[in-house]
Amino acid sequence: MNDVSRPHPVIDPDLPEKARTQLETALHPPQDTPPAEHRRTLLPQPIADHPVATVVITLLVLLVGMRLLARVFVFVAAAVLLIGAGILLVALLAPRRDPQRAARQLRDRYRDHYVTADDLDEEAAALLARAQRAVATITSAHVVRDDILDVALNTAVLPRQLWETARALRSLTELRSRPTPSHGDDTTIAMLLDDRKRALQAIHQSVADRVAALEDYATRVSEAEQAWQRVATLRRLIAEQEELRDLLAATAADEVAVRELAELTERARAAEAHLQNAAHQAAQAALRLPGVD
């Protein structure tokens, strides 16, 4: 599966915000995390790599220390050796720290509340990736961020649309992965298998229709975005024309400046009307999304 069709994890929007944030981190580990075999532990590397040799050396140190204890004049040296041996044993028996343990526990705890690319077959992953690209187009548009289109609608609807799409595709993948029994000449089994195949195709088409509705909405938002950019450009030019008019007025060309400004203002009005129409079309497309009243 190539990167273009590999979707990002989708998390249940009904989870509490804190849980969603933690799960997002657990599903996106840092890219620079070293491989497991090279991660640092509580143990020095020689001890971690050679535990048996460490035990033997520790026992030898203990024996030598006990012999030295019999000699009063080397009592201090023996004490130092014994303390060192104790430190080695504690370090050896101490549990190793697993930096990914908390992330694994979190993923296990909320296993039914997220969907990753690994949960999907190729067809399902491609559909979810399309849905995510459509949502990204919508949420990144100025007409959405500036509330020209209904921000509240997008905030409430889009995460739910993605989650329901991802969950349906995960179930569809699981159903498609089940082995298909051979039927031989058994017409009853063959008929049931045909029904199963048609049902899977119908489910796939239903999800594909949901994704197509998201893409249609994204297209309408893109059209409104283009109109918004044109309006913004015209407004900026009008502001510049007003400055030019003041300058031209000082050189007895005020009549020309006023005429040019009037023409530009009329274009801006037409562009704003086009923007309003594009925004209306995008809003209508949003209402056609499944589950939106």
CB neighbour list of residue 149: distance below 8 Å, 6 or more residues apart: 141, 143, 221, 224, 279, 282, 283, 286
Nearest by Cα to 9 from 116, 160, 149, 155: 116
**Which among 2-6, 140-144, 248-252 has the top mean pLDDT?**
140-144
Q: What is the mean pLDDT of residues 244-265?
A: 60
Q: pLDDT tens digits, residue range 199-241? A: 999 999 999 998 998 898 888 888 888 888 887 787 787 777 7
- pLDDT surpassing 50 at residue 35: no
CA atoms of 63 and 71, how far apart (whole Å)? 14
Confidence of residue 186 (pLDDT cuts 50, 70, 90): confident
Q: pLDDT tens digits, residue range 125-149? A: 999 999 999 999 888 888 777 777 7
Q: pLDDT tens digits, residue range 50-70? A: 555 556 566 666 666 555 555
How does the average pLDDT of the chain come out, rounded?
A: 75
Q: Give, in order, the Cα–Cα distances in Å from 183 to each of 189, 191, 200.
A: 6, 9, 19
Q: What is the mean pLDDT of residues 17-23?
A: 88
Domain assignments of the chain as residue spans, ordered by start: 34-99, 115-287
Say if residues 268 and 234 touch (Cβ distance below 8 Å). yes
